[in-house]
Amino acid sequence: MPRQAFNASALIAILAIAGAGPPVAAAGSGQSPAAPGAGAIEEIVVSAEASLAARLGSVGSVSALEAREIAAIGATHINETLNRVPGVWVARGSGQEHLTAIRSPVYAGLGACGQFLYLEDGIPIRPAGFCNINNLFEVNSEQAGGIEVWRGPASAVLGGNALRGALNFLTPAPAGRRLSLEGGPYDFYRLAAELSFEQGGHSLGVAANGMSTNGWRDHTGYDQQKLSLVHGADLGRWQVRNTLHLTQLNQDTGAFVSGFQAYKDSSLRRSNPSPDSYRDAWSLRAASHWTSAGWTVAPYARRSWMEFLQHFIPGQPVEENEQTSAGLMVGRHWEGARHTVDLGAQVEWMQASLLEFQAEPLTTSTAFNNAIRPQGVHYDFDVDSALYAVHYDVGFALADRIRLVHSLRVERLRFDYDNRGLDGNTRDDGTQCGFGGCLYNRVADRSDTFDDVAGRLGIEWTSAGGHTLYGVLATGFRAPQANELYRLQRGQDVADLDSERIDSAELGYRAPWGSVAAFADRTRNFIFRDAAGLNVSDGRTRSQGVELALAHDRAQHGFELSATYAVHRYDFTGGATGGEFIRKGNMIDTAPRWLGNALWRWSPAEGLASELELHVQGKHYINADNTAKYGGHYVVNWRGRYTLSERATVFARVVNVLDRRYADRADFTTFDPGLYRYFPAMPRQLYLGVTLTL
């Protein structure tokens, strides 16, 4: 199959030639949020309607990363940014691949991405039911005007898929002209640019960045480009804000390295057992936000395409998927002396398709695997969907310092599925596989509808000194993903799945110095693949934990600490795919009890700033049987910058200062029983760059 993509490099080159520069939030700008003299750096202006926490109230655990902090991090991967938030772990894969955990284990599988909702200015970046487990590489996080992290179920406030949490990326409004150039090891280069105009009551901001590297492991290079445009104007009584986001990724993908603690082996950790693996993807999203006198109206449209080699599956089939979707969100806000009311509605439509094709016969596995995983088409289907939702969010002052919040959302999601291949589990030419038939089963045409309701009830008390006590009861849901419904294996002609649901309770305390939150939740209708290879929704899980965030700033020093202790367990007994057996009370795999991040910021002189970071991940089981473990790790990073003049700042970063050998992700596969496998983390890296104001 051809590797397709549009090319955004030309757009970035045009910006650079025109003398544009990166936004304040541009990747690698090296600006420290705690640095003296920081006021000389232009602020990113974020419109109030883009912030969901400001608009809908933040009773519960909502963290915010500001543009300056995002810029100071200068991340080359989204996990460097989000791993400093309590309760959050983004496990890095190869290149820009990743798996996400928000107050949860790291989930993998067909519908794991449905556990979380990713938004851009309050609009989901993907249609309901057709997410991508690596969705975050479709967002311009490097130049975000801010990132809001909602921990715990937020379906009642934000929509389905916010089962365990949500991320809302704010589009910046760039100001001025800036250019940032950066270089690092393994032929890493990055260009980030910002450009803004104002004319006749209209404003236009452009933010773009592109990076390229050959990769530190064999055949793991990638090129990535991202472009964001924002236009603002007042049209009569309406304030209008239009956004356009384009992203592109072309990467050669590294596979797991196998063997116990293979990430410590000098040769294995740099190897790539699947040198032909790749992932090509692009996305486009456009939205128009209209606000006036309490009204918000936001039409939007999205398009994405992706093709990748499934190196983690015997036979290594290629998957190609694409979706085109559009929708409309409408809201109305009222505010009185003692109450606020928000009413809203959403409609959304999608057309999507998926093709899985194995180019060559499988001959290197067992006789059983070789027979049931045939060459040719495995799946080939179209799926259309329609989503309809109504919701409200009400806040009421019970007393001068006591506020009650209640939210409710009702949502309907309908799928219409069309199989473009032969029904059943034959080869694509209709012939039978040995050993009882082919593994892949193509479902006959059908329709499925899911109706879901989620609620939230919260109360908070705020003191005159800015201290807040709160409690929240919340429910959440996620409808099954199209992959879980229609990508079945032999023995299953219909996936009779229910929407996954969660019930959660949280108590918390917020103060000027930080916050602490304790939570407990239970999920039911947990969707997984059982021992017979069937997609089922009869699993249960339970979790409880404590999250802590502390911050203290002095004249030249700043300290921050985030820590999480959480226990995630299976709440049922049964077999899982690949021969694993789940016992009630077992720890869920890939769920460290401890996660921590500590920062020390030091600004010894005017224009000079540095940041030392310690990130800690605890030991954890890496299989459902709880027989295999990863021992955890810690890593130290350093970032610094020096302002040469009003027009020039130089910056540097050292990632993995101590050159520790650890794994970004550990796994225990049952394709070859007893086999440990890992994504080894990068060794020590030094990045140097300069930001120019033009």
Residue 56's pLDDT is 60
**What is the pLDDT confidence band of residue 642, given thresholds at 50, 70 and 90?**
very high
Structure tokens at 551: 């911050």
Q: Note the pTM of the prediction, 2 decimals.
A: 0.92
- 1-15, 407-421, 648-662: least confidently modelled range: 1-15
Architecture of domain 9-693: Beta Barrel (2.40)
**How far is Cα 332 from Cα 288, in angstroms, rounded to an integer?**
16
Residue 204's pLDDT is 95
**How far is Cα 539 from Cα 522, in angstroms, rounded to an integer?**
11
Each residue of 54-89: pLDDT tens digit?
A: 666 567 889 999 999 999 999 999 999 999 999 999
Average pLDDT rounded to a whole number, residues 490-509: 95
At 616, which amino acid appears? V
Edge-to-edge order in the sheet of strand 675-680: 257-258, 675-680, 663-669
Does residue 566 come out as left (phi exceeding 0), alpha (psi in the -120 to 50 range) or beta? beta
At 512, which amino acid appears? P
**What does the longest C-alpha to C-alpha distance in the chain come to?**
75
Task: Find the length of the chain.
Answer: 694
> Distance from CA of residue 59 to its chain's centroid?
22
Average pLDDT rounded to a whole number, residues 217-244: 96
Domain locations in the chain? 9-693
Does residue 17 come out as left (phi exceeding 0), alpha (psi in the -120 to 50 range) or beta? alpha
Each residue of 23-51: pLDDT tens digit?
A: 333 333 333 333 333 332 233 333 444 66
Each residue of 363-420: pLDDT tens digit?
A: 998 899 999 999 999 999 999 999 999 999 999 999 989 999 999 999 999 999 999 9
**How far is Cα 71 from Cα 31, in angstroms, rounded to an integer?**
6
DSSP 618-653: --EE-STTS--EE--EEEEEEEEEEEEETTEEEEEE
Each residue of 83-130: pLDDT tens digit?
A: 999 999 999 999 999 999 999 999 988 888 899 999 999 999 999 999
pLDDT above 90 covers a percentage of the chain that reads 84
| Contact present, 477 and 155 (Cβ < 8 Å) | yes
> Distance from CA of residue 551 to its chain's centroid?
25
Residue 44's pLDDT is 32
Structure tokens at 354: 């998926």
